[in-house]
Amino acid sequence: MTHHLSGKKVAFLLTSQYEDSELTSPWDAVVEAGAEAVLLSPGGKKVEGKKGHSQDADLDVAGANADDYDALVLPGGTVNADHLRLEEDAVRFVKDFDATGRPLAVICHGPWILTDADVVRGKKMTSYKSLRTDLTNAGADWVDEEVVVDGKLITSRTPDDLPAFNREIVAALSER
Protein backbone atom coordinates (compact mmCIF):
# COMPACT_ATOMS: atom_id res chain seq x y z
CA MET A 1 0.00 0.00 0.00
CA THR A 2 1.38 3.39 -1.00
CA HIS A 3 0.40 6.66 0.59
CA HIS A 4 1.64 9.14 -1.98
CA LEU A 5 -1.70 11.01 -1.92
CA SER A 6 -1.51 11.87 1.79
CA GLY A 7 -3.02 15.29 2.40
CA LYS A 8 -5.30 15.10 -0.66
CA LYS A 9 -9.07 15.27 -0.26
CA VAL A 10 -11.42 13.75 -2.84
CA ALA A 11 -15.14 14.57 -2.98
CA PHE A 12 -17.62 11.98 -4.23
CA LEU A 13 -20.98 13.55 -5.16
CA LEU A 14 -24.04 11.34 -5.55
CA THR A 15 -27.54 10.48 -4.48
CA SER A 16 -29.24 7.11 -4.10
CA GLN A 17 -29.52 4.47 -6.82
CA TYR A 18 -25.92 4.94 -7.94
CA GLU A 19 -23.98 2.08 -9.50
CA ASP A 20 -22.36 0.58 -6.38
CA SER A 21 -18.98 -0.29 -7.87
CA GLU A 22 -18.66 3.20 -9.40
CA LEU A 23 -18.57 4.57 -5.86
CA THR A 24 -16.74 1.82 -4.00
CA SER A 25 -13.96 1.07 -6.49
CA PRO A 26 -12.68 4.66 -7.00
CA TRP A 27 -13.22 5.35 -3.28
CA ASP A 28 -11.03 2.38 -2.35
CA ALA A 29 -8.41 3.38 -4.95
CA VAL A 30 -7.93 6.91 -3.61
CA VAL A 31 -8.05 5.84 0.05
CA GLU A 32 -5.51 3.07 -0.60
CA ALA A 33 -3.26 5.70 -2.19
CA GLY A 34 -3.50 7.78 0.99
CA ALA A 35 -6.16 10.38 0.12
CA GLU A 36 -9.16 11.26 2.26
CA ALA A 37 -12.52 10.50 0.59
CA VAL A 38 -15.59 12.59 1.44
CA LEU A 39 -19.15 11.73 0.41
CA LEU A 40 -21.36 14.69 -0.53
CA SER A 41 -25.07 14.30 -1.16
CA PRO A 42 -28.09 16.57 -1.49
CA GLY A 43 -29.44 17.14 2.00
CA GLY A 44 -26.48 15.28 3.48
CA LYS A 45 -28.56 12.12 3.34
CA LYS A 46 -27.41 8.52 3.48
CA VAL A 47 -27.15 7.09 -0.04
CA GLU A 48 -28.08 3.60 -1.18
CA GLY A 49 -26.77 1.89 -4.29
CA LYS A 50 -28.67 -0.19 -6.81
CA LYS A 51 -27.09 -3.39 -5.51
CA GLY A 52 -27.31 -2.82 -1.76
CA HIS A 53 -24.24 -0.78 -0.77
CA SER A 54 -25.22 2.08 1.54
CA GLN A 55 -23.11 4.84 2.98
CA ASP A 56 -23.69 7.87 5.18
CA ALA A 57 -22.98 11.25 3.62
CA ASP A 58 -20.23 13.28 5.24
CA LEU A 59 -21.70 16.61 4.15
CA ASP A 60 -24.67 18.21 2.42
CA VAL A 61 -23.49 19.43 -0.99
CA ALA A 62 -25.19 22.78 -0.24
CA GLY A 63 -22.57 23.43 2.44
CA ALA A 64 -19.60 22.14 0.45
CA ASN A 65 -16.91 24.46 -0.92
CA ALA A 66 -15.28 23.34 -4.18
CA ASP A 67 -11.96 24.86 -3.10
CA ASP A 68 -11.73 22.36 -0.23
CA TYR A 69 -11.19 19.36 -2.54
CA ASP A 70 -8.33 18.19 -4.73
CA ALA A 71 -10.59 16.11 -7.01
CA LEU A 72 -14.26 15.38 -7.61
CA VAL A 73 -15.66 11.96 -8.60
CA LEU A 74 -19.17 11.55 -10.00
CA PRO A 75 -20.35 7.92 -10.04
CA GLY A 76 -23.05 6.81 -12.46
CA GLY A 77 -26.27 4.92 -12.24
CA THR A 78 -29.17 6.18 -14.33
CA VAL A 79 -31.45 7.17 -11.44
CA ASN A 80 -28.62 8.74 -9.43
CA ALA A 81 -27.44 10.80 -12.39
CA ASP A 82 -30.93 11.90 -13.38
CA HIS A 83 -31.85 12.96 -9.83
CA LEU A 84 -28.51 14.64 -9.14
CA ARG A 85 -28.76 16.94 -12.17
CA LEU A 86 -32.06 18.29 -10.83
CA GLU A 87 -30.41 19.41 -7.58
CA GLU A 88 -29.42 23.08 -7.94
CA ASP A 89 -26.79 22.87 -5.20
CA ALA A 90 -25.18 19.85 -6.89
CA VAL A 91 -25.09 21.58 -10.28
CA ARG A 92 -23.59 24.71 -8.68
CA PHE A 93 -20.96 22.64 -6.88
CA VAL A 94 -19.95 20.85 -10.11
CA LYS A 95 -19.73 24.16 -11.99
CA ASP A 96 -17.68 25.71 -9.17
CA PHE A 97 -15.45 22.66 -8.97
CA ASP A 98 -14.81 22.65 -12.71
CA ALA A 99 -13.66 26.27 -12.44
CA THR A 100 -10.89 25.21 -10.02
CA GLY A 101 -9.09 23.31 -12.80
CA ARG A 102 -8.65 20.29 -10.54
CA PRO A 103 -9.31 16.68 -11.60
CA LEU A 104 -12.98 15.93 -12.31
CA ALA A 105 -13.65 12.22 -12.83
CA VAL A 106 -17.01 11.03 -14.18
CA ILE A 107 -18.19 7.56 -15.17
CA CYS A 108 -21.16 5.96 -16.93
CA HIS A 109 -24.30 8.15 -16.59
CA GLY A 110 -22.48 10.59 -14.27
CA PRO A 111 -21.79 13.12 -17.07
CA TRP A 112 -25.46 14.14 -17.26
CA ILE A 113 -24.88 16.75 -14.55
CA LEU A 114 -21.97 18.15 -16.58
CA THR A 115 -24.43 19.16 -19.31
CA ASP A 116 -26.53 21.07 -16.75
CA ALA A 117 -23.40 22.71 -15.33
CA ASP A 118 -22.37 23.63 -18.91
CA VAL A 119 -18.81 22.31 -18.57
CA VAL A 120 -18.48 19.87 -21.50
CA ARG A 121 -18.25 22.29 -24.42
CA GLY A 122 -15.10 21.54 -26.43
CA LYS A 123 -14.10 18.57 -24.24
CA LYS A 124 -13.24 15.12 -25.56
CA MET A 125 -15.02 12.59 -23.38
CA THR A 126 -16.79 9.27 -23.09
CA SER A 127 -19.73 7.94 -21.09
CA TYR A 128 -22.34 5.24 -21.16
CA LYS A 129 -23.38 5.14 -24.82
CA SER A 130 -26.94 6.41 -24.23
CA LEU A 131 -25.54 9.82 -23.20
CA ARG A 132 -23.74 10.34 -26.50
CA THR A 133 -26.43 12.58 -28.02
CA ASP A 134 -26.86 14.66 -24.85
CA LEU A 135 -23.13 15.23 -24.50
CA THR A 136 -22.66 15.98 -28.20
CA ASN A 137 -25.57 18.44 -28.13
CA ALA A 138 -23.91 20.12 -25.13
CA GLY A 139 -20.73 20.62 -27.18
CA ALA A 140 -18.59 17.62 -26.22
CA ASP A 141 -16.54 15.52 -28.63
CA TRP A 142 -17.86 12.09 -27.59
CA VAL A 143 -15.76 8.96 -28.25
CA ASP A 144 -16.25 5.31 -27.35
CA GLU A 145 -13.09 4.54 -25.36
CA GLU A 146 -12.32 2.87 -22.02
CA VAL A 147 -11.09 6.08 -20.43
CA VAL A 148 -10.58 9.56 -21.85
CA VAL A 149 -8.47 12.28 -20.26
CA ASP A 150 -8.91 15.82 -21.59
CA GLY A 151 -6.97 18.20 -19.40
CA LYS A 152 -8.27 17.53 -15.88
CA LEU A 153 -11.51 15.87 -17.08
CA ILE A 154 -11.42 12.06 -16.73
CA THR A 155 -14.31 10.05 -18.17
CA SER A 156 -15.14 6.34 -18.51
CA ARG A 157 -18.04 4.29 -19.84
CA THR A 158 -19.03 1.45 -17.49
CA PRO A 159 -17.95 -0.55 -14.44
CA ASP A 160 -15.83 -2.69 -16.78
CA ASP A 161 -13.61 0.38 -17.23
CA LEU A 162 -13.03 0.99 -13.51
CA PRO A 163 -9.39 -0.20 -13.41
CA ALA A 164 -8.40 2.37 -16.08
CA PHE A 165 -10.65 5.05 -14.53
CA ASN A 166 -9.13 4.55 -11.07
CA ARG A 167 -5.59 4.56 -12.48
CA GLU A 168 -6.20 7.93 -14.15
CA ILE A 169 -7.77 9.47 -11.02
CA VAL A 170 -4.76 8.47 -8.89
CA ALA A 171 -2.35 9.67 -11.60
CA ALA A 172 -4.09 13.05 -11.87
CA LEU A 173 -3.99 13.51 -8.09
CA SER A 174 -0.31 12.54 -8.05
CA GLU A 175 0.44 15.41 -10.45
CA ARG A 176 -1.12 18.01 -8.14
H/E stretch holding 38 reads strand 36-41
Q: Which DSSP symbol is given to 17?
A: S
What is d(CA 121, CA 79) in angstroms, rounded to the nearest whole number? 24
Each residue of 121-159: pLDDT tens digit?
999 999 999 999 999 999 999 999 999 999 999 999 999
Q: Any idea what the CATH number is for the domain that residue 56 is in? A: 3.40.50.880
In whole angstroms, what is the distance from residue 168 CA to residue 112 CA?
20
Domain presence at residue 65: yes
- Residue 106 known to be catalytic: no
pTM: 0.97
In a domain, 4, yes or no: no
Report pLDDT digits (tens) over 56-82.
Answer: 999 999 999 999 999 999 999 999 999
Q: Tell me, what's the pLDDT at 1?
A: 45
Element of type H or E holding 78: helix 78-84
Q: pLDDT tens-digit profile of 80-114?
A: 999 999 999 999 999 999 999 999 999 999 999 99
Q: Which domain holds residue 153?
A: 9-175
Q: For residues 161 and 22, is the Cβ–Cβ distance under 8 A? A: no
Alpha-carbon separation of residue 136 from 111, 133, 162 (angstroms): 12, 5, 23
Q: In this predicted structure, what is the pLDDT of residue 176?
A: 65
In the chain, the number of structural domains is: 1
Average pLDDT over residues 117-121: 97
Write down the catalytic residue from 14, 47, 108, 125: 108
93: in domain: yes
Q: What is the pLDDT of residue 48?
A: 97
Assess contact for 19 and 49: CB atoms under 8 A: yes
Q: Is residue 114 part of a domain?
A: yes
What pLDDT digit, counting tens, does each position of 155-171 carry?
Answer: 999 999 999 999 999 99
Contacts of 162 (CB under 8 A, 6+ apart): 21, 22, 25, 26, 107, 156
pLDDT at 15: 97
